[in-house]
Structure 1
Amino acid sequence: MQVQVVTWASHAAELGSIRRHVFIDEQNVPEALEWDGLDHRAFHFLVYADTLPVGCARLLADGHIGRMAVLQDFRGQGAGRALLAAVLQTARQQTLSWLYLNAQTHAAGFYVRSGFQPVGAEFPDAGIPHLRMELVMENHSSALNTRFGLAGKLHFVDAAAGVPVVEITTAHASARIAVQGAQVLEWQPTGQQPVLWVSRAAVYQTGKGVRGGVPVCWPWFGAGAEGKPAHGFVRTRLWEVRETGQGVADSVFIRFGMKDDESTRALWDHAFDVELIVTMGAALKMELVTRNTGAAPFEITQGLHTYFRVGAIASTQVTGLEDTVYLDKVLGFARATQHGAVTFDGETDRVYVNTTSDCVIDDAGFQRKIRVAKSGSTSTVVWNPWIEKEKGFADMAQGEYQEMLCVETVNAGEDRVTIVPGGEHRLVAFIALDAAV
């Protein structure tokens, strides 16, 4: 088996014939899906048995591998391995640092053997079960540093194999943010205890969220429909780094983004562009920006699922939600009204509705107050799993419930956001330490 790197202009007949046989004739993929208008932009690969072209693949500039096909009579003879090896070699020559593909589920093991990892739940594409799979290349962090690093302030490292993390340091604070999920992991003002909490048992692995920090829940908050992941699909995927820079008062910002593709549309059939802009300095600001790039309105729920570190949950309270109605998940979503500060002596899982107020976490254990201000949100979630529920989390160490508390800036439950074509919505959380107690 020999592989040639070709263009669509020079080899459209051979490439098109193989894809028609495999996808359209054999697998009943609609022609409108197969011919997507991207072929003229791609690197194409043909594998030959002697002089006969028997398989093909393509690679787009954004790292998307697709249209992997081998004629039925030539499967099991190494054509697929030869194609994928050639694609990976070209990706390295083009200094691509991240690759992804949508594999038919039965073929996932083939890609795993080359280092790809499944991300998210199975989804149908053209009626065929698929898995999104991603490969973080060896040069990913170094490529990000070349394009986006800020000397002495911002650089990328690997928290684990295939899990790049950006580390930010200023005179006022330090922070760490995972590129996977655009998940803020740490924010620690200089001379203070960390404000965010991450479990000691947290797992840093491709395709899995980290227990703690600020997971981004989008485009739905809470349980998904049957077969769809809880809290949406963006928290376990690599985001694109779009921009870094320095702001006012010695702050540093980083802008992450993601657009729709075949795998997202199979789970949520809308065209979108979503960004998370994190600005870090004496305070922490997170802006989740949703843009509708399609022709029809869509509806979202969403959240910045923020885990705070506290000295002791039993001596912690939350103010700012007095006289606010909430839905109590522990009691089957019963409606109740908050009287006084929120205190903790057992499992707490509440959605406070119709509230735009600041919340203040009064942390007696660390003798500090953490203010959580927000905009673009009329719901606030307060959560602590307590003893029994903590036992169900493999990525949470025993007794850690005592040192964490979630106060989440969300649009959840009855609080839903409709975005018209061409429109956008901004969900903003602003976190700062108030004066010492």
Structure 2
Amino acid sequence: MNFDLSERQALWRDRVRAFMAAHIYPSIPLYQQQANQVGAARWQVIPIVEELKARAYSEGLWNLFLNPSEQDDDAYTGPGLSNLEYALCAEEMGRVAFASEVFNCSAPDTGNMEVLRQYGSAAQKAQWLRPLMDGEIRSAFLMTEPDVASSDATNIQTSIRRDGDSYVINGRKWWSSGIGDPRCKVAILMGKTDPEGARHSQQSQILIPTDAPGFEVVRMLPVFGYDDAPHGHAEVMLRDVRVPVENLILGEGRGFEIAQGRLGPGRIHHCMRALGATEVALEKMVDRLLSRVAFGKRLADQSVWEERIGEARLEIEMTRLLCLKAADMMDKVGNKAAQLEIAMIKVAAPRTALKVLDDAMQAHGGAGLSEDFGLARAYAGMRALRIADGPDEVHKRAIAKLEMGRHGARLRAWRDGAPLDAGQVPTPA
């Protein structure tokens, strides 16, 4: 088992790292100034981000998440990074909240682009994927609903009904991220085309232009008071929204198939960005502890803080290794074979981030609760991540089922007379 980075892995990580140091970190004060608007002005494109995007595009640091395509003639691809190679870049991007957008690598556009490239028709790719890849527009993903437990996606009730050459959509969605951006021109929606079908064949996914009649943004939804403007998260009402049948992705009843195709890579992205933010929190915590004196000595010299710093480093390193293992498995054996590791990182990464952020806020005292150090905002985002892309409980349930299935199969084989593997101990009946 080799833990050294390959030359290619280090090259791409270091290119992103160098761009961050040269252009993104120095732009943080200007970004904060331009983003700190009031009223409607908050929901406008932030100029410095557009400037940085143009620079990243010119330097070839663009659409890094689009790994090699299985289609020989596919023109819709990025630089060809593997999941493992991109994971290292994503951690660097996670150190600054707006950095992933600079590289055209921010959610939900990443997942939507992956869906369109893998499952979209030629016409869908030309109309929506190309401008997304070029950074000309942004997009949203509409799945969660306020009236049902959406952690079980079979509960989703939004109706997608065929009517001649159109589909008519009715329903209510919320936590629809990206809707607030004025560049958001299209949404991928998951809803039911066949309420009476098999449990996992009722759902489909369809493309909806955000300016379609009947598509209404009811309200923006802040997270712990942060509205994430201009990106934002919205409640959306769909009343008799009519789109052409050509807007359906892949086919009726294939919504779950599409969802599984997008979620594996997306969880790698989220978790590695979370680790980047966690590293920043630890850096800020240590800086604070080294610069403050209480009860006659530096806070860093108080034993409780030495313990917390040590625990933070342990948790970060273990979580990173697990995330990189999941990414490597996805590259080598595919998303399905890596489902256990993907589920584990989705629980582990936000949990690690929240623990370190909580300690960092505690180290800053009252300042940690303010806007001055960015810790409270980061905490809000990481707390949301324990729910986004499936709550912890769903992932732990999946982990438990896989574990029980694995051990159950071994136990049944042993009872049927099969020899035990080395080191395996039979469970008493």
Decide which structure has the larger Cα Rg and report it.
1
TM-score, normalised by the number of residues in structure 1: 0.25
TM-score, normalised by the number of residues in structure 2: 0.25
Higher relative contact order (CA 8 A, sep 6+): 2
Which has more helix, going by share of residues?
Answer: 2
Which has more strand, going by share of residues?
Answer: 1
